[in-house]
Amino acid sequence: MQGNTILVTGGGSGIGRGLAEAFHALGNQVIIASRREKVLSETTRANPGMISYVVDLQDAAALRDFAAKVASDHPALNVLINNSGIMRAENLKAQPGDLDEMESIVTTNLLAPLRLTAALLPHLKKQPHSAIMNVSSGLAFVPLALTPTYCATKAALHSYTQSLRYQMQGLSMEILELIPPYVATDLMNGADDPRAMPLKAFIAEVMSILKTQPDAKEICVESVKRLRFAAESGSYEAVFRGLNDAMTKHPH
């Protein structure tokens, strides 16, 4: 919780900014990265001492160069939070042939965290203590049919995180997965949706879990457990149908 140098992708807005500010308030050195310079500047101005880098997470070469630069500029870097993500509604019945938007979602949500993890892993393995936190979603476990590619990328990230955790056994490295519910952010224009969990409440509960449950590998606030454990509880079909019927009838 303290004494770390933490890199947060997508740290200029939404959940990324909430996490960055929470760790910054605890005295950690926090670095945020995004391709949107405006939101990065707004966040660093509001949080003196926070550092930002502009990087296009969809550009594989730029991501490799960024990883090398941030590790060189901040040799104490020991925590990576892969948070950046984009979510789009997709009509699969009328899908365009070029698939540009679908591929953009896959690149940002899945390829970028895999690439950045691979690029920074040699550096993180050298640290006395390190951690990687991948931000997936409750929709990795029960998909929202309106956003099929987003849900698929988060399911893949969950699977990857499990494999990464197993392969890193024996190292002084924690592999965590943060599984958000529907949180009030600008993702899919949900900031003003009363059905969404308020961002401040979500961040507060996440930080409490991290503080009081240091051995937790999956960080689940109470409101996401219905999705996360739908299959285990035997309620998957009901939860899937309830989620998708509700969003079909009352999209935000």
Would you name the residues annotated as active-site residues? 150
Angstrom CA distances, 146 to 88, 184, 250, stand at 8, 18, 12
Task: Give me the helix-helix angle, 14-25 and 199-212, nearest 10°.
Answer: 50
- The one-letter code for the residue type at 222 is E
Query: If you ran DSSP here, which 8-state letter would residue 6 be given?
Result: E
Among residues 231, 222, 162, the alpha carbon closest in space to that of 197 is found at 222
The Cα angle at residue 114 between residues 42 and 130, in degrees rounded to 5: 75
Chain-centre distance for alpha carbon 203: 13
End-to-end CA, the chain: 35
